[in-house]
Structure 1
Amino acid sequence: MNLPASGRRVLVSGASRGLGRAVAQAFAANGDRVAVHYGSRAEEARATLDSLSGTGHALTGGDLADPAGAAAVVDAAAGALGGIDVLVNNAAVNERHPLAETTYEEWVAVWQRHVAVNLLATANLSHLAARRMIDGGTGGRIVNIGSRGAFRGEPDHPAYGATKAAVHALGQSLAVSLAPYGIGVASVAPGFFATERVAPRLDGPEGEAIRAQSPFGRVAEAEEVAAAVVWLASPAAEWSSGTILDLNGASYLRS
């Protein structure tokens, strides 16, 4: 069950922009073939696909909140790539919903969306990809994108923090159960990192305070997080299975 260092078949969920795009680009630069998943941003996903170095990449769209949609995404990715060696669970929603400002109806809806996408889709994709890895007998890797907020709390985004904590716990459970099949499972827990989505916040009045969270006086670049994901998916990282790797520039230290 030897996992190659390159030439792998990689599915990245939520890869139309931001961190997902950076992760897809990093794997492609490593010589891997990538299935770029998107939910609704087909045009942006196509831009991600066009930006990838190398050949043999694929585009696959689908609603991961729907279990049948998740299955269709994995089937399409495996069909286009000839299998799946690496799954990166990146797709997520993150909506502001502080309790004191949110109606009960909005609260329920927001929690349902977060659980469906951030947690259940991660669990479903992991099952679907891992079964293919097990049946193929070649091992593989699953890397989950968690969050610093799972540990320090997210008062304005409590469902996000809670579901990311659940993703971390899921990854550790799967790391134990899938190791006999040569499948390593790990998670990263990024702090604040720069993407087009958060650019207005970084450029606005709160930008200085956000950068000051880290003693380095800056936020991460998406490429820094992507580099860690690629390493966790590498043959050299097998003994890191079960880890939750903090990537927050010492902005939050946990014991």
Structure 2
Amino acid sequence: MNLPARGRSVLVSGASRGLGRAVARAFAANGDRVAVHYGSRAEEARETLASLDGGGHALVSGDLADPEQAARVVAEAAEALGGGAVDVLVNNAAVNLPHPPATTPYEEWVELWQRHVSVNLLGTAYLSRLVAGRMIEAGTPGRIVNIGSRGAFRGEPDHPAYGATKAAVHALGQSLAVALAPHGIAVASVAPGFFSTERVAPRLTGPEAESIRAQSPFGRVATPEEIASAVLWLASPEAEWASGTVLDLNGASYLRT
């Protein structure tokens, strides 16, 4: 059975704003039905839902660090989108809180590491297993796309847990790509550099704005829509052979060998 090009059921985690919102809009504009997941930003998630083209979309909420809530999110998304398997999962939900190693108190350091691992890595692992299990049970092909980060390769000195968990997400995606290919499930990741969102808007208008833009030889940062377009392609029927890849999307701001 071939993966359809449109009309699919898509679950986007962390879709209340920013990149998640842009990804949800890209799939909806493609003619897909989207489950917009949020953790605590209910009002912003409703704004995302209202902005989507087409119909058949839904809201689902839950703390993905909790295995039981993660299972409920997938079950509710599948039911709301038609009752079958979810065709596409985009693992976008993440936390990114500063914790410079030289100055962060140890108790806070421990708490923040646990939170980053629980959401960024374990939440991604939970959703991936749950969605893949439904695909396999239904005998349908599918796609899983993980949102990683440039920071997994170049380091994040003030956000080390973020960089480390995003590196783990890349590795998880490659392991899943090998394990799930016999079932027609392709898994890939994107590794964005700096891109504009509501969360980082103050940094792009403040004193460090010029240095941030100068990271790329294009002299700018990416838009969420540019990242979303790559996610949409990786979830397409034509992208099966990209399974296992980690796609750099950083405007030549960091080149790895």
Sort the TM-score into its range (normalised by shorter chain).
Answer: over 0.9
Does structure 1 residue 238 correspond to structure 2 residue 240? Answer: yes
Does structure 1 residue 40 correspond to structure 2 residue 43? Answer: no
- In structure 2, what is the Cα distance between the partners aligned to 1:181 and 1:26? 26
Matched residue, 2:136? 134
Matched residue, 1:150? 152
Matched residue, 1:96? 98
TM-score of the two chains, using structure 1 as the length reference: 1.00
Matched residue, 1:63? 63
- In structure 2, what is the Cα distance between the partners aligned to 1:137 and 1:31? 23
- The DSSP-based 3-state class of the residue aligned with 1:65 is coil
RMSD of Structure 2 on Structure 1 (CA):
0.4
- In structure 1, what is the Cα distance between the partners aligned to 2:186 and 2:174? 10
Question: Aligned partner of 1:164: which letter?
Answer: K
TM-score of the two chains, using structure 2 as the length reference: 0.99
Structure 1 runs not aligned, ≥5 long: none
Alpha-carbon shift at residue 157 of structure 1 (Å): 0.2
Matched residue, 1:24? 24
Runs of at least 4 residues of structure 1 off by over 2 A?
A: none
- In structure 2, what is the Cα distance between the partners aligned to 1:196 and 1:60? 22
| Cα shift readout 1:170-215 (whole Å, capped 9, x = no counterpart) | 0000000000000000000000000011000000000000000000
Matched residue, 2:72? 72
- The DSSP-based 3-state class of the residue aligned with 1:99 is coil
- In structure 1, what is the Cα distance between the partners aligned to 2:68 and 2:145? 22
Alpha-carbon shift at residue 85 of structure 1 (Å): 0.2
Structure 1 residue aligned with 2:207, among 195, 205, 220?
205
Matched residue, 1:164? 166
Question: Aligned partner of 1:28: which letter?
Answer: A
Alpha-carbon shift at residue 136 of structure 1 (Å): 1.0
- The DSSP-based 3-state class of the residue aligned with 2:137 is helix
- The DSSP-based 3-state class of the residue aligned with 1:194 is coil
- The DSSP-based 3-state class of the residue aligned with 2:95 is coil
Structure 2 runs not aligned, ≥5 long: none
- In structure 2, what is the Cα distance between the partners aligned to 1:174 and 1:218? 34
- In structure 2, what is the Cα distance between the partners aligned to 1:136 and 1:8? 14
Matched residue, 2:222? 220
| Cα shift readout 1:57-92 (whole Å, capped 9, x = no counterpart) | 000011111000100000000010123000000000
Matched residue, 2:115? 113
